Structure 1
């Protein structure tokens, strides 16, 4: 069993590293606010994240169950349709697509 001083030192170091990593973005936020790179990332990052999630989810579905492939593609269509119809609200569109997929997978 490690000594108490060792455990306190480990917790103190973990605290310092965590605090530094959490505070660093706020320390440079003022300089990055007017950056063209940050503006471009703000536009493309959500799309990239959703694309990675979609590819990952569809890859797992398509390779395992042919019936699930049809359900997944239908859910993707619902997600895209909802996203374009309801003012590009990501939470609503992803929620609708997920709900369609879960309902189809569990009822049919």
Structure 2
């Protein structure tokens, strides 16, 4: 065998290190969560993050709405908000809002 090929011991050591790092990275969120389970800050984030993420997504989506696409975007947004207020189902709200936007953009394009 050529000199540049690592030996079996080196390969097994590298595989062992990869195994340990992988297991540690997969276990880290659960360890952190158990330590923060009764944290007031984590509870606050759990209550406010969904709304905050939705506001950021809406702002990102509407930032480039031009003069020709504002009506479909407004219809899709109104449909999403209305469906969510009525049914409180994020998946249904997303599907209905997307469908309304697609239909409206087809009609007004």
Answer yes or no: is 1:58 the counterpart of 2:62.
yes
Pairs aligned (count): 102
Task: Assess, with a 3 A threshold, how the Cα gap between structure 1 residues 4 and 71 changes in structure 2: closer, same or farther.
Answer: farther
CA shift, 1:79, in A, is: 1.0
In the other structure, the counterpart of 1:39 is: 43
Paired residue secondary structure (1:34): coil
Q: Give the gaps of 5 or more residues in structure 2.
A: none
Residue 4 to residue 54, structure 1, CA distance change in 2 (3 Å): farther
2:93 paired with 1:100: no
Contact 2:75/2:104 (<8 A) preserved: no
1:74 is matched with: 75
- Counterpart CA distance in 2 for 1:107 and 1:14 is 54
TM-align CA RMSD: 2.7
Unaligned runs of 5+ residues in structure 1 are: none
Q: More helix per residue: 1 or 2?
A: 1
Q: Which residue of 1 aligns with 2:31?
A: 27
